[in-house]
């Protein structure tokens, strides 16, 4: 399934005319597995939302080769998902089949079977009738990964997929990500655990509101590059504190 690269050329994204990300330039190659890392406020989620079309670039371009919107499976941060919505686990997973059935397509027997198989693959066999609000954080994240299985997309974009879940769930979901990589899908994931990135992701993009480094993980996350990113984050904090003092004065 090695198709579907995403390239960015001098990409900049802004909120309320303030730059959140600027001058990003490079390519997520088809079949690659890339971690997006950087300090808090570095623009990692901003980049992800631009890649999936939620945010529009202020300048620059995003170029998708041989893929359209339905070829991209996107997992947002858990905090952005309303778990009070009255929907069952099974129906949540079935939503992943829209790429094949259409937004209003009926759930066929094949989709129902694939849903059961996907739930079993993430360790949740037999919970399809439960309400999503009854699940733990780890169980719910497994459900969202099961939905990704049904999407069967060549490009998978994950925004902080391991936040607030236990180590066993994290390892199980990492196994699934490695399986997708073995199938030559393009994987892009925002992550915070640098050890986890070094152990599992061959490539990394280090951001600090601009591109610090992009390439093989050990090179991109060198001590010098991480120090530079940290220094830039400290500068933002100093600037924010200065603005705050001016506002109070």
What is the Cα–Cα distance from 105 to 116, expressed in whole angstroms? 18
Q: What's the pLDDT at 238?
A: 66
> H/E/C letters for each residue in 26-84?
EEECCCCEEEEECCCCCCHHHHHHHHHCCCCCCEEEEEECCCCHHHEEEECCHHHCCCC
pLDDT single digits (tens) 160-180? 999 889 999 999 999 999 999
The CATH topology of domain 1-67+186-249 is Rossmann fold (3.40.50)
Identify whether the C-beta of residue 72 lies closer than 8 Å to the C-beta of residue 157: yes
Element counts in the chain: helices (H) and strands (E): 9, 9
Average pLDDT rounded to a whole number, residues 218-247: 83
pLDDT single digits (tens) 102-153? 544 556 778 999 999 999 999 999 899 999 999 999 999 999 999 999 999 9
Each domain of the chain, given as residue ranges in start order, spans 1-67+186-249
């Amino acid at each position: 399934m090695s198709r579907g690269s995403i390239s960015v050329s001098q990409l900049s994204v802004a909120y309320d005319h303030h730059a959140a990300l600027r001058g990003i330039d490079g390519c997520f190659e088809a079949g690659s597995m890339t971690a997006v890392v950087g300090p808090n406020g570095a623009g990692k989620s901003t980049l992800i939302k631009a890649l999936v079309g939620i945010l529009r670039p202020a300048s620059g371009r995003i170029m998708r080769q041989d893929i359209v919107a339905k070829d991209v499976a996107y997992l947002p941060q858990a905090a952005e998902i309303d778990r009070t919505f009255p929907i069952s686990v099974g129906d949540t997973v079935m939503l992943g089949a829209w790429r094949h059935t259409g937004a209003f397509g009926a759930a066929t027997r094949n989709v129902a079977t694939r849903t059961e198989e996907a739930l079993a693959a993430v360790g949740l066999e037999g919970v399809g009738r439960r309400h999503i609000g009854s699940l733990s954080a780890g169980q719910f994240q497994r459900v969202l990964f099961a939905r990704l299985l049904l999407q069967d997309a060549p490009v998978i974009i994950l925004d902080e997929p391991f936040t607030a879940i236990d180590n066993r769930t994290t390892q199980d979901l990492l196994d699934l990500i490695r399986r997708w990589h073995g199938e030559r899908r393009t994987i892009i994931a925002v992550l915070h655990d640098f050890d986890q990135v070094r152990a599992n992701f061959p490539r990394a993009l280090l951001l600090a509101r601009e591109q610090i480094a992009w390439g093989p993980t050990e090179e991109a996350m060198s001590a010098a590059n991480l120090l530079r990113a940290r220094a830039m984050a400290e500068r933002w904090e100093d600037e924010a504190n200065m603005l705050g003092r001016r506002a109070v004065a």
